[in-house]
Amino acid sequence: MNIKQRFVGNTELKIDILGLGCAPLGGNFVDLSYEDGTKIINTALHSGMSYFDTAAWYGFGRSERLVGDHLRHKQYVLSSKVGRILKPGAVQNPLDFGMIDPLPFHVIYDYSYDGIMRSYEDSLQRLGLDRIDILLAHDIGAFQHGAENASHFNDLAKSGYKAMSELREQGAVKAIGLGVNETQVCQDALDIGQWDVFLLAGRYTLLEQSPLECLFPACEKAGTSIICGGPFNSGLLVGGDTWNYSKAPKI
């Protein structure tokens, strides 16, 4: 495939308009072996795809290890996420977290300066790669954290954003943003800094277009791109040949 590319925000980074989300490769809600994951990544690469998205959360590090193994020495653009630190010790029932056969870790949320830096460095170690191109603060928002979100968002606003911005300024990453399932937190985040991109999952689909009303215009004004995750509602929807995406900002 000859996949078109677009710039991320106002950066010099270009990504494919179609990328591979690697949550299932960590065993999130699906039982995939290492060999299955290998075939999926190789098929994507052989098809001309170069943009991949992963996170520490996916299989508690399992997805990052698999993705790193198969992107090493390849041409790629990679996004991964910060805000969760993996600690040794398996969870009692992985299915409570939507995981099948994850690595033996559990998650601690930390959106502070130190937490962001540690999460970033830990991801590089698991990936076995020397760079992450797009760094996203993962799953922050009221739906995810409930009453605790105010504290987490304050950590991000007061110091976590500074860590991400410094990594961008130093050239360690090329773009920064959020990777979330909630529209409002993206709107709120626009007030605390200059974000290059929001990976917004499940909120701009064939069933829901609420971001068109406020978020997308605000992102266009701020120069923040949108990556639409799960546009078919995680496989619930198929088709859409007549759908008009013209009102969405660039991804």
| The token pair that represents 19 in the structure block | 């990328």
- Tell me the Ramachandran region of residue 114: left when phi exceeds 0, alpha when psi lies from -120 to 50, beta otherwise: alpha
Rounded to whole angstroms, how far apart are CA atoms 111 and 132?
A: 18
The verdict on domain 5-181 having CATH code 3.20.20.100 is yes
Residue 161, both tokens: 């954003």
Q: Where are the domains of the chain?
A: 5-181
Q: What is the pLDDT of residues 90-106, one digit of tens each?
A: 999 999 999 999 999 99
Show the CA angle centred on residue 128, arms to residues 123 and 129, nearest 5°.
Answer: 85
pTM: 0.92
- Per annotation, catalytic residue among 16, 76, 81, 133: 81
Mean pLDDT of 165-184: 97
A 10 A CB-CB count for 128 gives 13
Residues 6+ away with beta carbon under 8 Å from 162 = 113
To the query of whether residue 69 is one of the catalytic residues in this protein, the response is no
Angle of CA points 134, 203, 53, to nearest 5°? 25
Place of tokens 């991804």: 251
Task: Report the distance separating Cα 183 and Cα 122, nearest Å.
Answer: 28
pLDDT of residue 231: 77
Q: Is residue 188 within 8 Å of 140, Cβ to Cβ? A: no
**Residues 16, 51, 58, 196: which is the catalytic one?**
58
Question: Is 188 known to be catalytic?
Answer: no
Tell me if residue 53 is catalytic: yes
Mean of the pLDDT values across residues 28-50? 95
Burial class (CB in 10 A: 0-12, 13-18, 19+), 18: middle
The pLDDT value recorded for residue 235 is 58
